[in-house]
Structure formats: structure tokens, C-alpha cells
Amino acid sequence: MKFNTKTIHGGQKHEEATGSVMTPIFQTSTYAQTSPGVNKGYEYSRAANPTRTALENAFASLENGTHGFAFASGLAAIDCVLRTLNPGDEVIAGDDIYGGTYRMFTRLFQKYGLKFQYVNMDEVESVANAVSENTKLIWIETPTNPLMKIADIEAITKTVKSIDSTILVAVDNTFATPYLQLPLNLGADIVMHSATKYLGGHSDLVMGALIVNNADLAKEIHFIQFAAGAIAGPMDSFLALRGIKTLHVRMQRHCENGKTVAEFLANHSKVGEVYYPGFSSHPNHEIAKKQMKDFGGMVSFRLKDESKQTAFSFLENLQVFTLAESLGGVESLVSHPVTMTHASIPEEERLKIGITDSLIRLSVGIEDIEDLLKDLEQALSV
């Protein structure tokens, strides 16, 4: 199937008992057995639930994987990946990652004996030079949150695997979605999503996803998911399935609107630097062109007036853009990384990579573009 067809039909089948076109919500915790250990494939919903199974099959189909897994949140999915490691193992991650990921790395797993290095993944050499005999996982975010850095997934994977083929490469594909980018096709071992964002697409659920194409790795992930219990429930699984069916048409508009908003901001007298991989001036624009179908709906920028007060004034005066955590919904959202998504990162570390008081992150929705531009203009004029 082509991608647009996969979003609707990929990994799916009509419900057998009634022929229901949509997967039903199997709101049950347990399943009848005809004899001890004899069942119809389901025993207890922590291990598997038919609604979640349908969603996990859809995840796998979208990412060209063989196994998909749905978790209670994106962080629960990351937690599962880290649980495949052992004390003393080392993780190499980008220096610009989601604040919640950084918080999990430094405040949870570091005290359990994992070690973390943070490097600028714009350059493949930075990753290669950081690899040691203890390195077991490369954690790539691309585009990054919030500075929209681009990492060359294929080049990093090939380089790392040439050093040690057992090192796992995981890619947080939340910003790009499988509509724009397919990390497994580029050699990655694991794809992670905060399905709360674009996959769900309607700001009405919290969920995480992992997709792999290795049976042994899938078996380990399933065991951790079952043993730790951070599963997605049937209602949220139903909502995510519904959201995925329009992913392709939503992403088309997100990309169109994102490009127009980025260009508007780049030409505005009160705006400084604009972070958008679709610009030829972006340091890794050519890599973005190579591995992404388009450039997405996420745009970050700085105000020329670098005071927090000016940033707050802009944020408080927006009327169509909603000031809120998260991203990827049909509605346009705006956030202030310093006080919201990246507040858990120490100020010294934020400033090193450029997350300052004047930095604004936009999740450009699918509204009429004229309304979005007017809203930005009036808020910038206040």
C-alpha cells in the first residue's frame, strides 16, 4: 500500500463478529478461557487488548516495521527503551532534546547506573567520536525540540554500526511523523513517537509508541511493556486509530501552513532568527531534503527584543494560537520553552544551546492561513 492508503487500512481488518468497519472499543480487563491456558488469543488486557492490537498494527504499518507497541505516554515508551539497558551502559543523545526526555535521563536513569553523553548531532563525527566500549544506545531526535536541528539518521546509523553493530539506534520521530520521515528505512532499530501529538492529532489523548523490525527486540519490548504495565488503554487506542486515518491530509496542511508562517516571521521586523528546516539557510537543510518528504508544521523563532516581558506580552496577546503545552493538534499552539517544555533543564544547559527567554515555539495548525498570519501580526504589534 501507498502511505495515504496505509493510514486508513494499514494493519487493519474488519471486526470478525459483526463486520464493524471501525475497530470496537474492547473495554474489558480480562477474557474467558475454555480451559486453563486455552483462550482466543487474549488473557488479560495488560498483555494485549484487541483495540490496542489494532492500533499497534497500524503503528507498525505506518513506519514499515514488523512490531508496534502502544504505551500510556511518550515518556513511558522512552522508559521502556532504557529498560533494555544495564547499569554501566552509555547512551549518546543530542544536545537539543525534549525537556521531559532530558529529565528522565538525568533524574531517573542516571541514578540507576546508566551514563549519558550529549553531543551536537548536526555532525556525524560528533556522534562517532563519543562512542565508547560502553555505548549501547544512540538517541536521535530529528527535527529537534525546540531548535529544529536535523540529524542525518542514515549516516549516523551507518557510522555507529561500523564501530559496533550491536549498538541500538533509536529515533524520536514525533515532529516529523511517518508521513515525512521513515527512520527504520534509514537503518534505525527503534522508532519512538509521542502519539499524543501528530498521530492522535486532536489534543484529546496521551500516548506513546515504539516500532521495531527485529523479532528479538520486539520480544524484549513486549516483555517490558507487560511487566512494567505502562500500556495504552482501549479508549485512547480507539481515539489514536481514528486520528491516524487523517494523518496524511492533516500533515499536508500542517506543512503548507508551517512554511507560510516561517516565511512571514523571517520577514518581520520584530523577529530575529527563525528555526525551520525548510529554509535553504538552515545548516542541515540538504539533509532534511534528503530524508524528509516535507518540512512539517513546527517553527521556532526569537524575538529581537530578548526580554522575557516582551515574549510574555506576545504570548498573552495571541488569539487564534493557544498558549499551551504539547503540539501536533489540528489547532495552532504556541509555547515558551524556557518556562514550559524545557523548564526542567538547568538554565546553564539551556543557554549553552540557545534556549533563551525570547525563544518561541509554534505548532502550526490547519486553520485558514490568513487567520494565523493576522493573529501573529497583531500580537507582534502590541
Q: Tens digits of per-residue pLDDT, 213-267?
A: 999 999 999 999 999 999 999 999 999 999 999 999 999 999 999 999 999 999 9
Per-residue pLDDT of the chain (382 residues; tens, 9 = 90+): 999 999 999 999 999 889 999 999 999 999 999 999 999 999 999 999 999 999 999 999 999 999 999 999 999 999 999 999 999 999 999 999 999 999 999 999 999 999 999 999 999 999 999 999 999 999 999 999 999 999 999 999 999 999 999 999 999 999 999 999 999 999 999 999 999 999 999 999 999 999 999 999 999 999 999 999 999 999 999 999 999 999 999 999 999 999 999 999 999 999 999 999 999 999 999 999 999 999 999 999 999 999 999 999 999 999 999 999 999 999 999 999 999 989 888 888 898 889 999 999 999 999 999 999 999 999 999 8
| DSSP classification of residue 185 | G
> Cα(66)–Cα(59) distance, rounded to whole angstroms?
9
Tell me the C-alpha distance between 121 and 136, whole Å.
17
pLDDT computed for residue 160 by the predictor? 98
Q: Are 160 and 129 in contact (CB under 8 A)?
A: no
User: Residue 115: enclosing H or E segment and its boundaries?
Assistant: strand 115-119
pTM equals 0.96
For the chain, the C-alpha Rg in angstroms (whole number) is 21
d(CA 339, CA 335) in angstroms, rounded, equals 9
Domains located in the chain, CATH noted:
11-242 (3.40.640.10), 247-381 (3.90.1150.10)
Active-site positions read 46, 98, 172, 197
The grid coordinates of residue 336 equal: 515558551
What phi and psi values does residue 328 have, to the nearest 5 degrees? 85, 0
pLDDT at 325: 94
Residue 54, pLDDT score: 98
pLDDT of residue 341: 85
pLDDT at 241: 98
* Rounded to 5°, angle at Cα 173 from 361 and 132: 105
pLDDT of residue 7: 97
Predicted pLDDT at 343: 87
Beta-carbon contacts of residue 63 (< 8 Å; ≥ 6 apart): 173, 178, 182, 183, 184, 191, 211
Q: Give residue 150's pLDDT.
A: 98
Sorted by sequence, the CB contacts under 8 Å of residue 59 that are 6+ apart come out as 11, 65, 68, 69, 70, 193, 195, 199, 209, 211
Consecutive H or E run containing 70: strand 67-71
pLDDT at 349: 87
pLDDT tens readout for residues 141-170: 999 999 999 999 999 999 999 999 999 999
